Amino acid sequence: MNKSAITLAAAFWAASNALAMAQGIPGQHFMENWDLNEDGTVTLAEITERRDNVFISFDADDNGSLSAEEYELFDEARASHQNDGAQGQGGGKGHGKGAGEMMDMVVNDTNADGVVSRDEFMAQAPLMLAALDKNSDGTVTAADFKKR
Protein backbone atom coordinates (compact mmCIF):
# COMPACT_ATOMS: atom_id res chain seq x y z
CA MET A 1 0.00 0.00 0.00
CA ASN A 2 1.44 3.39 -0.88
CA LYS A 3 1.85 6.26 1.56
CA SER A 4 -0.83 8.40 -0.09
CA ALA A 5 -3.43 5.65 0.42
CA ILE A 6 -2.44 5.36 4.07
CA THR A 7 -2.59 9.12 4.52
CA LEU A 8 -5.99 9.31 2.84
CA ALA A 9 -7.43 6.51 4.93
CA ALA A 10 -5.97 7.98 8.11
CA ALA A 11 -7.72 11.25 7.31
CA PHE A 12 -11.01 9.38 6.97
CA TRP A 13 -10.56 7.69 10.32
CA ALA A 14 -9.53 10.80 12.16
CA ALA A 15 -12.66 12.48 10.91
CA SER A 16 -14.75 9.86 12.67
CA ASN A 17 -13.43 10.99 15.99
CA ALA A 18 -16.44 12.76 17.48
CA LEU A 19 -14.51 15.48 19.27
CA ALA A 20 -11.70 16.00 16.77
CA MET A 21 -10.76 19.61 16.56
CA ALA A 22 -9.40 21.50 13.59
CA GLN A 23 -8.54 25.13 14.13
CA GLY A 24 -10.35 25.00 17.48
CA ILE A 25 -13.82 24.27 16.10
CA PRO A 26 -15.33 21.02 17.43
CA GLY A 27 -16.40 18.70 14.64
CA GLN A 28 -14.89 20.77 11.83
CA HIS A 29 -12.44 18.07 10.77
CA PHE A 30 -15.17 15.44 10.75
CA MET A 31 -17.55 17.59 8.73
CA GLU A 32 -14.87 18.54 6.18
CA ASN A 33 -14.01 14.89 5.55
CA TRP A 34 -17.34 13.08 5.85
CA ASP A 35 -19.88 15.63 4.52
CA LEU A 36 -19.40 14.55 0.92
CA ASN A 37 -21.89 16.95 -0.65
CA GLU A 38 -20.88 19.80 1.68
CA ASP A 39 -24.44 20.54 2.76
CA GLY A 40 -23.62 20.74 6.48
CA THR A 41 -25.16 17.33 7.20
CA VAL A 42 -23.56 13.90 7.28
CA THR A 43 -25.97 11.12 6.46
CA LEU A 44 -25.78 7.37 6.85
CA ALA A 45 -25.09 7.14 3.10
CA GLU A 46 -22.08 9.44 3.45
CA ILE A 47 -20.72 7.52 6.45
CA THR A 48 -21.20 4.29 4.53
CA GLU A 49 -19.35 5.63 1.48
CA ARG A 50 -16.44 6.92 3.57
CA ARG A 51 -16.14 3.69 5.54
CA ASP A 52 -16.03 1.82 2.25
CA ASN A 53 -13.19 4.09 1.08
CA VAL A 54 -11.29 3.41 4.30
CA PHE A 55 -11.77 -0.33 3.91
CA ILE A 56 -10.59 -0.33 0.30
CA SER A 57 -7.54 1.75 1.21
CA PHE A 58 -6.32 -0.78 3.76
CA ASP A 59 -7.29 -4.04 2.05
CA ALA A 60 -3.79 -4.27 0.56
CA ASP A 61 -4.26 -7.71 -0.95
CA ASP A 62 -7.78 -6.95 -2.24
CA ASN A 63 -9.20 -10.12 -0.71
CA GLY A 64 -12.28 -8.48 0.82
CA SER A 65 -11.06 -8.63 4.41
CA LEU A 66 -8.62 -6.86 6.69
CA SER A 67 -6.11 -9.16 8.34
CA ALA A 68 -4.52 -8.35 11.68
CA GLU A 69 -1.48 -7.06 9.79
CA GLU A 70 -3.58 -4.79 7.56
CA TYR A 71 -5.47 -3.56 10.61
CA GLU A 72 -2.17 -2.80 12.33
CA LEU A 73 -1.24 -0.51 9.42
CA PHE A 74 -4.68 1.07 9.72
CA ASP A 75 -4.16 1.69 13.46
CA GLU A 76 -0.69 3.15 12.84
CA ALA A 77 -2.06 5.52 10.21
CA ARG A 78 -4.85 6.64 12.54
CA ALA A 79 -2.37 7.25 15.38
CA SER A 80 -0.02 9.16 13.08
CA HIS A 81 -2.84 11.36 11.83
CA GLN A 82 -3.98 12.08 15.39
CA ASN A 83 -0.46 13.09 16.34
CA ASP A 84 -0.41 15.48 13.38
CA GLY A 85 -3.22 17.60 14.78
CA ALA A 86 -6.56 15.83 14.53
CA GLN A 87 -6.51 14.92 18.20
CA GLY A 88 -9.54 14.30 20.30
CA GLN A 89 -11.36 11.51 21.98
CA GLY A 90 -14.32 9.40 21.02
CA GLY A 91 -17.69 10.03 22.51
CA GLY A 92 -21.33 9.67 21.82
CA LYS A 93 -24.20 7.44 22.65
CA GLY A 94 -23.91 4.60 20.10
CA HIS A 95 -24.29 1.34 22.01
CA GLY A 96 -21.72 2.43 24.57
CA LYS A 97 -19.05 2.90 21.92
CA GLY A 98 -17.30 6.17 21.16
CA ALA A 99 -17.24 7.18 17.51
CA GLY A 100 -13.50 6.54 17.31
CA GLU A 101 -14.00 3.06 18.70
CA MET A 102 -16.23 2.27 15.72
CA MET A 103 -13.03 1.78 13.70
CA ASP A 104 -11.33 -0.62 16.17
CA MET A 105 -10.68 -4.17 15.00
CA VAL A 106 -12.31 -5.81 18.00
CA VAL A 107 -15.54 -3.85 17.37
CA ASN A 108 -15.55 -4.56 13.65
CA ASP A 109 -14.58 -8.25 13.84
CA THR A 110 -18.09 -9.20 14.91
CA ASN A 111 -17.62 -12.94 14.39
CA ALA A 112 -14.24 -12.90 16.22
CA ASP A 113 -12.43 -14.85 13.50
CA GLY A 114 -9.36 -12.60 13.51
CA VAL A 115 -10.15 -10.77 10.27
CA VAL A 116 -12.62 -8.03 9.43
CA SER A 117 -14.65 -8.71 6.33
CA ARG A 118 -15.97 -5.87 4.23
CA ASP A 119 -19.50 -6.83 5.29
CA GLU A 120 -18.53 -6.67 8.98
CA PHE A 121 -16.86 -3.29 8.53
CA MET A 122 -19.74 -1.81 6.58
CA ALA A 123 -22.34 -3.14 9.01
CA GLN A 124 -20.91 -0.81 11.65
CA ALA A 125 -21.85 2.37 9.71
CA PRO A 126 -25.25 2.76 11.43
CA LEU A 127 -23.60 2.34 14.84
CA MET A 128 -21.04 4.98 13.97
CA LEU A 129 -23.85 7.35 13.00
CA ALA A 130 -25.59 6.62 16.31
CA ALA A 131 -22.37 7.31 18.23
CA LEU A 132 -22.01 10.72 16.59
CA ASP A 133 -25.68 11.75 16.41
CA LYS A 134 -26.13 13.30 19.86
CA ASN A 135 -29.56 14.76 19.13
CA SER A 136 -30.87 11.54 17.57
CA ASP A 137 -32.16 13.17 14.39
CA GLY A 138 -30.58 10.57 12.09
CA THR A 139 -27.81 12.85 10.78
CA VAL A 140 -24.62 14.44 12.04
CA THR A 141 -24.22 18.21 11.96
CA ALA A 142 -21.92 20.69 13.69
CA ALA A 143 -24.54 20.91 16.46
CA ASP A 144 -23.78 17.31 17.42
CA PHE A 145 -20.27 18.36 18.42
CA LYS A 146 -21.27 21.19 20.75
CA LYS A 147 -21.03 20.62 24.47
CA ARG A 148 -24.38 20.37 26.18
pLDDT in tens, 37-49: 999 999 999 999 9
The CB-side HSE value for 35 (13 A sphere, CA atoms) comes to 15
* Residue type at 29 in one-letter notation: H
Using only C-alpha atoms, what is the Rg of the chain?
14
C-alpha 55/C-alpha 53 separation (Å) is 5
Q: Report helix, strand or coil for 2.
A: coil
Query: What tens digit of pLDDT does each residue of 68-86 get?
Result: 999 888 888 877 766 654 4
Q: Which CATH class is domain 3-145?
A: mainly alpha
- DSSP string computed for 91-122: ---GGG--TGGGG-HHHH-TT-SSSEEHHHHH
- DSSP string computed for 36-76: TT-SS-B-HHHHHHHHHHHHHHH-TT-SSEE-HHHHHHHHH
The pLDDT value given to residue 20: 44
- Single pTM value for the model: 0.72
C-alpha 46/C-alpha 51 separation (Å) is 9
- What residue spans define the domains of the chain? 3-145
